[in-house]
Amino acid sequence: MSDYFRQNAVQTTFANSESWVILSSLEQQIKAKIEKIGTPLKDWDINISRGIITGFNEAFIIDSYTREKLINEDPNSVEIIRPILRGRDIKKYGYDFADTYVILAYYGSYKILEQNYPAIYKHLLTYEKQLKNRGQCRYTSSGKLNSNEDFPGQHHWLELDNNLTLQKLEDFYKQKIMYPNMTKFLPFYLDDKGFTQNDK
């Protein structure tokens, strides 16, 4: 092991304000060149989103069989069921679609689900206990009960976590770069097909 360290040792100095980056001299030259001619990510006019957070994937992320069943029971269901790529579905420059879909029960939709999407409402009712038990359904972001709404937490139990609004949902239909939240291989996919994403 000591031979390995001798052969791969790199001398470097760190300024107090810099992040510690340990690179070979060639890698340091490449990094310096990129920083000299490139634009830092913080200066780009882009939004970074971690995708759809359901709070309970078993209820909101469905397979093709369940999708067809819900649409057969109520054709309106197709309006709020969209294909989803999970982090594990994203490969280098592409994806492997696992035939999974997400029920887009956006913020405020609890008021219309039973009336407009009865099959989806019935499906979510089978998970009522687990959905009500999610932290965001029990408490506000400050950790207190919400006494001003029809529900005690940040959103109704019939809805996705993180208060996904219809306006925010529109961002998923735009062209975007998709990637998993953790990976060894850095796969990225340029999506122009309107997939939604869950980073798991």
Residues in contact with 196: Cβ distance below 8 Å, sequence separation at least 6, in sequence order: 51, 52, 82, 83, 84, 85, 102, 104, 172
Q: How far apart are alpha carbons 51 and 72 in whole angstroms? A: 28
Residue 7 pLDDT level (bands cut at 50, 70, 90):
confident
Cα–Cα distance measured from residue 103 to residue 125, given in angstroms and rounded to the nearest whole number: 13
Residue 12 has pLDDT above 80, yes or no: no
Which residue, 149, 186, 180, is CA-closest to 85? 180
For the segment 124-162, what is each residue's pLDDT rounded down to a tens digit? Answer: 999 999 988 887 777 766 655 555 566 777 888 888 888
Phi, psi for residue 26 in degrees, rounded to 5 = -65, -45
Q: What is the pLDDT of residues 159-180, one digit of tens each?
A: 888 888 888 888 888 888 888 8
Helices and strands: H and E segment counts in the chain: 9, 8
Q: Confirm if 181 and 90 have CB atoms less than 8 A apart.
A: no
Average pLDDT of span 53-78: 96
**Is residue 116 a contact partner of residue 110, using CB atoms and an 8 Å limit?**
no
Q: What pLDDT score does 187 carry? A: 87
- 83, pLDDT greater than 90: yes
pLDDT interval class at 77 (50, 70, 90): very high
List, in order, residues 6 or more apart from 152 with CB less than 8 Å away: 137, 138, 139, 145, 146
* Cα separation, 63 vs 143, whole angstroms: 34
Q: What's the pLDDT at 113?
A: 94
Q: Which residue has the tokens 């408490």?
A: 139
**What does the pLDDT read at residue 147?**
59
Instruction: Encode pLDDT of 106-116 as tens digits.
Output: 998 999 999 99
Greatest alpha-carbon span in the chain: 71
State pLDDT tens for residues 17-54: 777 888 888 888 998 898 899 888 788 888 777 788 88
**Is the model's pLDDT at 97 over the cut of 80?**
yes
Whether residue 100 contacts residue 61, with contact meaning beta carbons closer than 8 Å, is answered with yes
165: tokens are: 């609004």
> Cβ(87)–Cβ(61) under 8 Å?
no
Average pLDDT over residues 81-92: 91
Q: Are 32 and 138 in contact (CB under 8 A)?
A: no
| 68 — pLDDT class (breaks 50, 70, 90) | very high
Alpha helices by DSSP H, listed for 87-133, are: 113-116, 118-125, 128-132
Task: Give pLDDT, residue 156.
Answer: 80
pLDDT at 76 over 70: yes
Alpha carbons 198 and 102: distance in angstroms, whole number: 9
Average pLDDT of the chain to the nearest whole number: 86
